[in-house]
Amino acid sequence: MKKHNFSAGPCVLPKSVLDKCSKSILEFNKLGLSLIEISHRSKDFIEVMEKARLLTKELLKIPKGYSILFLQGGASLEFLMVPANLLKHKAAYLKTGTWANKAINEAELYGEVNIVGDSSDTNYSYIPKGYHIPKDIDYFHCTSNNTIFGTQIHEFPEVPSLMVCDMSSDIFSREINIDRFDLIYAGAQKNMGPAGTTLVIVKDEILGKTNRKIPTMLDYQTHIKKESMFNTPPVFAVYASMLTLEWLKNKGGIKEIEKINRLKSETLYTEIDRNSLFNGISNIEDRSIMNVTFDTTRKDINIMFDQLCDKAGIYGIKGHRSVGGYRASIYNALSIDSVNHLVEIMQDLEIKMK
């Protein structure tokens, strides 16, 4: 039985992508070779990389002047690459959770960090608002969606300088205006593909201005010049990401997937709010459409809920240890059927408990 996969990442991928990956590992493009055995300098793989770039550009409507990179190291390496490439004196960071904190720690190695908003007082259950961003900063950094806490920025601030955003857990899930951002990065393993590659979208003109000698692999300009092929790229992860973007395009692109994502999250939040056995964890107006955090209102039902979920093939809804409770991650490739299935379990439990 195929599970309903609510895992926070690595996570559910489209069935058609898995089928194609499985076949390409046996033989790719009728070459008599596996996808993972061919040279990354071969025509066949260069086409994959090119296609991944073009699909990203098309889906996100990326204007001229931006480069699209597929790197390694996850968002965690970007936490360091961003300040190495952009931080001259001072940067402003929005402190909205675990990943934002990790980004802040790395930036502090390169300059002054100004925390302009901070929701740690309630264990990051909300997105700070109305904060002031000083004018003399090199850039403002935020996390668009907080995977662990289930909060999401629904309105990005006006920034007097550059805006850098970690979109690891909500990229490709909703329409965004790329023009407003100068650098976006995202680990692939949520909406884009399997673990092993990181997407970076960067405005070319912002680079090369720190006077810092940046190590080759940490310098975005290295990867721009070599079109993400400075060294051997993570072939399989880039290929699977390309297929996932192709799947998204065939689904109707981001406008269409956003509608489905909003329907999925509304369906689940509606049940959480209606059902007497469950409560949402994050602030209602900051609720994420990707990661739905909730808890039970009666601790004595947890074991039964876990058993019902398990029996129904629901996988990966345990909350992160720093929040507790439950978290249903409902990324692009998770179907509304899976959400409806979870809602039924929640309703069944309520009936059983009456």
Straight-line distance from the first to the last Cα atom of the chain, in angstroms, rounded to the nearest whole number: 30
Q: Which is nearer to its own copies, 55 or 81 (CB)?
A: 81
In the complex, which residues of this chain contact its own copies (CB under 8 A)? 1-3, 5, 7-13, 18-19, 21-23, 25-26, 31-34, 36-40, 72-77, 79-80, 102, 105-106, 109, 187, 189, 194-196, 213, 215-218, 230-237, 240, 313, 315-316
Active site residue 179: no
Residues in the chain: 354
Q: Of 104 and 137, which CB lies nearer to its own copies in the complex structure?
A: 104
Q: Which of 20, 99, 138, 219 is catalytic?
A: 99
Q: Is 321 exposed, middle or buried (0-12, 13-18, 19+ CB in 10 A)?
A: exposed
Q: In sequence order, which residues have a C-beta less than 8 Å from that of residue 107 and are 6 or more positions away?
A: 79, 82, 83, 87, 91, 93, 113, 141
Name the residue among 173, 233, 191, 220 with its Cα closest to residue 17: 191
Write down the least CB distance from residue 112 to its own copies, Å.
Answer: 15
Closest to its own copies by CB, 13 vs 268, is: 13
Q: Which of 20, 95, 170, 190 is catalytic?
A: 190
Q: For residues 128 and 117, is the Cβ–Cβ distance under 8 A?
A: yes
Kindly name the residue from 166, 170, 286, 295 that is annotated as catalytic. 166
Shortest Å, Cβ 126 to its own copies: 25
Residue 311: active-site member: no
Q: Structure tokens of 105?
A: 């720690």
CA 171 to chain centre: 5
Name which of 26 and 284 has its Cβ closer to its own copies: 26
DSSP class of residue 71?
A: E
Shortest distance (Å) from residue 327 CB to its own copies: 12
Based on CB atoms, which residue is closest to its own copies, 271 or 329? 329
166 catalytic, yes or no?
yes
- Give the residues across from 165 on adjacent strands: 142, 184
Residue with tokens 């909730």: 294
In the DSSP assignment, the letter for residue 318 is B
Closest approach of its own copies to the CB of residue 266, in Å: 25
Tell me which residues are annotated as active site: 99, 166, 190
